[in-house]
Amino acid sequence: MGRPRTTSDEAILAATARAIRRHGPQSLTLAAVATEAGLSPATLVQRFGSKRGLLLAFAVHAAETAGEPFERARHEHASPLAALRAALVRMSEGVATPEELAGSIGFLQIDLTDAEFRGHAAGHARRTRDAIAGLLAEAVAAGELAAGTETPALAHAVQVAYNGVLVLWALTGEGTLPDAMRATLDQTLRPYLPA
């Protein structure tokens, strides 16, 4: 019988996210992730087989858990719009500098050039859009958004605004990313608020 695992795969994947922000996926090494996770590189090889295996596990996990920030926010806030704002802002709080965002955006290069990664990235995007649409539909039902608001189209606009503000903030460096996220989300939703 093998020794019990002292560090969960989820903790290793969280360490992988931090290491990607720091180094980018191209410069990432198993040693860097191991240091971040407090493990040996050999442990990562045992669990994931290779750097590609670790990055694929990271991509799968990200796609599978894309809705979790929205569910967590839904339980923390009675207002669907407050939950939406909280989820999107919380998702942006992990990035403190443009360099950290560059590390994360570097993963997009892999997503766009490797079909296996692209499938997981597309799943992540769909789950995120669906979670946004769900909260927007709840906001319409609660009277927080105007009756008749087309929530699928607005969910698309919110998702585009979220991704766009990440890039614009990284380029301009104006304020904090969470503040930029709040302002952009408020601007995107303002035309749909009840009169």
2 has a pLDDT exceeding 70: no
pTM: 0.89
Domain boundaries, the chain: 9-61, 66-192
Residue-wise pLDDT tens digits, 132-169: 999 999 999 999 999 999 999 999 999 999 999 999 99
Give residue 101's pLDDT band: very low, low, confident or very high (50, 70, 90).
confident
Q: Name the nearest CA neighbour of 119 among 166, 64, 167.
A: 64
The pLDDT assigned to 98 comes to: 84
Query: Taking 80 as the threshold, does the pLDDT of residue 5 lie above it?
Result: no
Amino acid 1: pLDDT: 44
Task: Report the SS3 class of residue 126.
Answer: helix
Same fold, 9-61 and 66-192: no
Q: Would the pLDDT of 4 be above 60?
A: no
Lowest mean pLDDT among 17-31, 55-69, 80-94, 95-109: 95-109
Structural contact between residues 133 and 151, judged by C-beta atoms closer than 8 angstroms: yes
Residue 88 to residue 160: CA distance in whole angstroms: 12
Is the pLDDT reported for residue 58 higher than 60?
yes
9-61 fold: Arc Repressor Mutant, subunit A (1.10.10)
Residue 39 has pLDDT above 70, yes or no: yes
Where would I find the H helices in 93-150?
98-113, 115-141
Residue 191's SS3 state is helix
Which architecture characterizes domain 66-192 according to CATH? Orthogonal Bundle (1.10)
The predicted structure's pLDDT at residue 23: 86
The rounded percent of the chain whose pLDDT value lies above 90 is 72
- Name 56's Cβ contacts closer than 8 Å, sequence gap at least 6: 116, 117, 120
